[in-house]
Amino acid sequence: MKVIEEYKISYEFIVAKVKIFKLPNEFVPIYSLQLPEIEKATRIILDEIKDELVSEVPLLENVDLQTYEKIKREFFEKAKNKIKEYIKTIDEKTLHFLANILVIEMLGIGILEFLINDGNLEEIVVNSSKEPIWVYHRKYGWLKTDIYIPSEQQIFNIASLIGRRVGRQINILNPLLDAHLITGDRVNATLFPISSFGNTITIRKFRRIPWTIVDLINSKTINFETAAFLWQAIQYELNIIIAGGTGSGKTSLLNAILNFIPANQRIISIEQTREIQLPSYMHWVPLVTREYTIEEKGKITMYDLLVNSLRMRPDRIVVGEVRRAEEAEVLFEAMHTGHSVYATLHADTAQQAYKRLTNPPINIPEIVIESLHLFAVMYRDRRRNIRRLFQISEIVPFISEKVNDLYKWDPSKDEIIKANRSLRIEEEYANFIGLSKTELEKDLNEKIEILKWLVKNKINSIEAIGKIVNEYYFNKDELMKRIKKGKK
């Protein structure tokens, strides 16, 4: 056994050890999760207590995270009292440990809770009870765990529990489930025989600390010039669609560049699952879609929210993902009525993104699509396990290709390079903002200087970056003086 890495994770004050190692007969490394052991006699007592407490488990339907934490604390106290009835001489440390085990098993989703709380994991996958759980690790890619869900019934019970908590149902008649955990993590589940090998659960983890522009620069996902260019585009209210494949980092880039919106503007965001996070002082209203309830009522779609958002006097509209024709139509209508719009789209290149918007089923007329200014395309290199800004391209109606690449990633050098001069954006800045080419260049260089200062001083929280950005908008001279003097 060759050990690759070892570290600890904790959930509800229970510490577990993670060991990642390679076995000679396995092609994929093993992710081993070691939890503190519970003696057999103690396990029997816990099972008896669970039988007694089962009637006191509250129905957790459509509760927010704050309410959920309050319910857990109350149930924790009940569990402690019940354990003390059974084990009179128990010490405080063991009491807390056993009470937390009951909380995890009766209110949570068991051992999966520890995997969800491993910050190194992006995806957790249950394929059936016959094979181990798989996880996608940020550093090592797909890993096979040493954890099994004992039965197909138990996988179904977990999926059903997750569904009920957001008003959804999974059963033989409805064998597919799209839902989310109270923490915001996305969940998909399928039942046998739709999934031939057995019941499945796929959990895509919601990043607790959002990626910032500093994080993306440090990871070489983006460079200083392209970050400053996108900052400029956000400041001067260009419409941007971020394209890319699944897991390429579209939402991460969107979240990072939204930090460049001035604090005195109203933002409406529309998502299926809350992923966008903005500084607390921003004028922001997040809206989330809702699926049908168990009674097949009350569905709220992206289209419903988009239409409604136009009545909320937004300065900026952010859409998590454009999938359907009606959503795209409202999105482009918003652009035409003077709102600045940002969205994500599944497409691998700028050219492909343009074709996807202008062809069935989305079918936006070419004359309408002119209101969109930029595509920023993300790419995930699975072989090297890296994400990169692949392209920044402008929409140019008067050329045959319709898109003009301004920046492009060179995979052989792993560098983002300048591709072509602007045919549209510079003219837009000159005509509508009154910035000459020289002024634009000076503006871009100032932003590069600020970004370098942020990286140098390791300022990478959304709150801190947002405050510096707004200091630049409202007190630029003072900020630039401080930066030039190297002051924090």
Report DSSP letters for 126-157, one per residue: E--SSS--EEEETTTEEEEES---S-HHHHHH
Which residues 6+ apart lie within 8 Å of 8 measured at CB? 15, 16, 17, 18
Least confident of 201-210, 295-304, 454-463: 295-304
The 10 Å Cβ neighbour count of residue 149 is 25
Quote the tokens at residue 385.
Answer: 């396990």
pLDDT in tens, 289-307: 877 665 567 788 888 999 9
CA distance 336 to 275: 27
Before 361, cis peptide (omega within 30)? yes
Is residue 378 classed as helix, strand or coil in its secondary structure? strand
CA distance 345 to 381: 18
Per-residue pLDDT band for 416 (boundaries 50, 70, 90) equals very high
Q: Rounded to whole angstroms, how far apart are CA atoms 319 and 141? A: 29
Residue (of 242, 473, 237) closest to 339 by Cα position: 237
* CA–CA–CA angle 308, 309, 313 (5° rounding): 120
Strand order across the 186-190 sheet: 2-11, 14-22, 30-34, 141-145, 134-137, 121-126, 200-204, 186-190, 176-180
pLDDT of residue 212: 95
Task: With beta carbons less than 8 A apart as the criterion, state whether 269 and 318 touch.
Answer: yes
Q: What is the pLDDT of residue 292?
A: 63
Q: Residue 358 — very low, low, confident or very high, per pLDDT cuts 50/70/90?
A: very high
Q: Between the CA of residue 460 and those of 47, 212, 217, 392, what are the distances in Å?
A: 46, 6, 10, 23
What average pLDDT does range 268-274 have in this prediction?
86
Residues with Cβ within 8 Å of residue 259, at least 6 apart in sequence:
212, 213, 278, 279, 462, 465, 466, 469
Average pLDDT estimate for 242-271 = 94
- Report pLDDT for 469: 96
Instruction: Give the three-class secondary structure for 172.
Output: coil
Range 21-40 average pLDDT:
93
Q: What angle do CA 164, 167, 173 make, to 5 degrees?
A: 75
Q: What was the pLDDT predicted at 293?
A: 60
Spell out where 386-460 has E strands.
386-395, 403-410, 415-418
Instruction: Identify any residues that bridge with 267 across adjacent strands, giving them in sequence order.
Output: 284, 316
The side-by-side arrangement of strands in the sheet containing 340-346 is: 283-288, 266-271, 316-319, 340-346, 240-244, 374-381, 386-395, 403-410, 415-418
Q: Write down the pLDDT at residue 210.
A: 85
Backbone angles phi, psi at 377, to 5 degrees: -110, 130
pLDDT at 234 over 90: yes
Residue with more model confidence, 58 or 49: 49
pLDDT, tens digit, for every residue of 303-326? 899 999 999 999 999 998 888 898
Least confident of 196-200, 201-205, 288-292: 288-292
**Across residues 265-284, what is the average pLDDT?**
90
Reported as a pLDDT band with limits 50, 70 and 90, residue 202 is very high
Torsion angle of C-alpha atoms 308, 313, 314, 319, degrees rounded to 10: 10
Instruction: Give the H or E element holding residue 376.
Output: strand 374-381
What's the confidence (pLDDT) of residue 246?
A: 87
In terms of pTM, does the model score above 0.85?
no
- 49 pLDDT exceeds 60? yes
CA–CA gap between residue 161 and residue 190 (Å, rounded)? 14
Provide mean pLDDT across the span 415-426.
95
Q: What is the Cα 233 distance to its own chain's centre?
A: 23
Q: What is the pLDDT of residue 2?
A: 93
pLDDT number for residue 107? 85
Do 263 and 282 form a contact (C-beta atoms < 8 A)? yes
CA-CA distances (angstroms) from residue 479 to 168, 213, 230, 476? Answer: 50, 19, 20, 5
Which of 180, 191, 129, 184 is CA-nearest to residue 156?
191
d(CA 347, CA 246): 9
CA torsion angle for 148, 154, 160, 161 (degrees, to 10)?
-80
Please, what are the domains in the chain?
Answer: 2-204 (3.30.450.380), 213-484 (3.40.50.300)
Supply the pLDDT for residue 336: 85
Q: Looking at residues 198-226, what average pLDDT do you find?
A: 93
